[in-house]
Amino acid sequence: MSTRTRRILRHEFLHTIKKKGFIILTLAIPVLVLLGIGIIKLASNVAVPSDSVTQIGYVDQIGGFDPLYETAGIELIRIESEDAATVALTEGALDEYFVIPADYVATGTVARYTLEKELTPPPAVESTIEGFLDSNLLASEVPPELIGRVLTPVHIVTTTLTTEGTVAEDQGGFVNFIVPAFFGMLMAIALNVSANYVLQSLGEEKENRLMEILLSTVSPRQLLTGKLLGRGMAGLLQVLLWAISIPLLLRLGSATIGGMLSAIEVTPGLLVLGVVYFVLGYLLFAVVALAIAAICSTVREAQGIAPLFTLMAVAPFWFISLLMFFPNSPVWVVFSLVPFSAPVLVMLRLGITGVPIWQLVASMAILGASVLGGLWIAAKLLRIYLLMYGKRPRVREIVRALRAG
């Protein structure tokens, strides 16, 4: 690396880490997690009366429905008519009530009434009503002990084995998906922010004609390489600080909240892959930002085009439900090799299923080749369109210029 490139790298790195936006974003993630842990801890310490009972009335228009199903904290009370139930609800004698219509067996629909505005019924209430209805329907046909088994959810315990038949160290599950998903989200944010910094830096220098002075002392490749590495080191510092804080926050969360957080582990391999994919992903998005800034005459114009590429980093989150159920679909394998979606998508897949080594190697190789090719194109575009102001070239003109150059 030449001395001039190192000077540009140092200037870009120091200029970036001193930005208020960079500092705020770096500190915001750990602070928000700490705030979330504090809120959960505070909410869990709020005293809830242990002897409180929810009074739920029911109006039986079929006949024969008795409160055979019991739930802790919920009491079912038979009411003779809807009018009586409404009066009891408005006077506070009931918390809510539901009506079993005469055609319930055919329609499977019951009407529930409450004074509270809700998005959906509380899970405990919904489970109690379903259990009450099902147990009464089965009472005359099925032994009581069998009714209990039917109404009790099945608990499935899954164990992953290796090809040798031994228990695998990585058992997967939702708990192991949390860290890769969180890391993927942070990576998507960092990639977009870092690429925008690069875009803004080069765009401003070109817009105020400072670029002409800079290129009188350094080559386009030296300038772009210095900017790329300087901003990249700042972004890497940001991700490393997040990566260091994640185990500490998880330890604090498990000690404070416990439960599922205590089972989460951050493996060194996952951290290494996360850093590698961030570096490659950043370099790719940054060279795309450099190329866009090279052909645009103003920063505003460049910022209008860049989201078309950077949004691809967060695109895997749009299809997270499909990804969770079909992680090894050929569609995701292909997009794991596509440079723009690979960094975040591979991290998500690592949290759901095992990603074959050849896919990891292939995606990294394609990312690396894309970075080198993108840097070459960005340097040529900057040299060709340095003095172009007021008009953005068309795609056909850019292709023609690259061929001629």
Q: What percent of the chain has pLDDT over 90?
A: 11
**Whether the Cβ atoms of residue 30 and residue 49 lie closer than 8 Å to each other:** no
Q: What is the dihedral of CA 34, 35, 39, 42, to 10 degrees?
A: 60
Reported as type and span, the H/E element at residue 200 is helix 174-207
| 389 neighbors 203 (Cβ within 8 angstroms) | no
- Quick one: tokens of 120? 């959906």
Q: Work out whether strand 74-79 and strand 54-60 pair parallel, antiparallel, or are unpaired.
A: parallel
Look at 194 and 14; give whichever has higher pLDDT: 14
Between CA 275 and CA 269 the distance in angstroms is 10
Per-residue confidence (pLDDT) for residue 123, from 0 to 100:
84
38-76 pLDDT, tens digit each: 776 676 555 445 567 889 999 999 888 887 677 778 889
Region of 165 please: left (phi>0), alpha (psi -120 to 50) or beta: left
The pLDDT value recorded for residue 47 is: 46
Q: Are 79 and 85 in contact (CB under 8 A)?
A: yes
Distances 214 to 14, 233, 295 between C-alpha atoms, Å: 18, 22, 17
DSSP letter string, 231-242 = HHHHHHHHHHHH
Q: Which of 172-181, 263-272, 370-379 has the lowest mean pLDDT?
A: 172-181
- How much is the average pLDDT of 393-403? 65
**Which DSSP string corresponds to 284-301?**
HHHHHHHHHHHH-SSHHH
pLDDT 10s digits, 137-187: 887 676 766 666 666 666 665 666 666 767 666 555 555 667 677 777 777
User: Mean pLDDT of all residues in the chain?
Assistant: 77
Burial of 399 (0-12, 13-18, 19+ CB in 10 A): exposed
User: What is residue 89's predicted lDDT score, i.e. its pLDDT?
Assistant: 92
Residues sharing a CB contact under 8 Å with residue 58, sequence separation 6 or more, in sequence order: 65, 76, 77, 78, 79, 97, 98, 99, 100, 132
Please check the confidence at residue 130 and state whether its pLDDT lies above 60: yes
Domains of the chain with bracketed CATH: 54-151 (3.40.190.10), 170-404 (no CATH)
The predicted pLDDT at position 391 comes to 58
218-266 tens-digit pLDDT: 777 777 788 778 877 887 787 778 777 776 776 666 655 555 555 556 6
For 160, the 3-state DSSP assignment is coil
For residues 281-290, average pLDDT: 81
pLDDT at 86: 93
pLDDT at 88: 93
pLDDT tens figures, 340-360 = 888 888 888 887 777 888 999
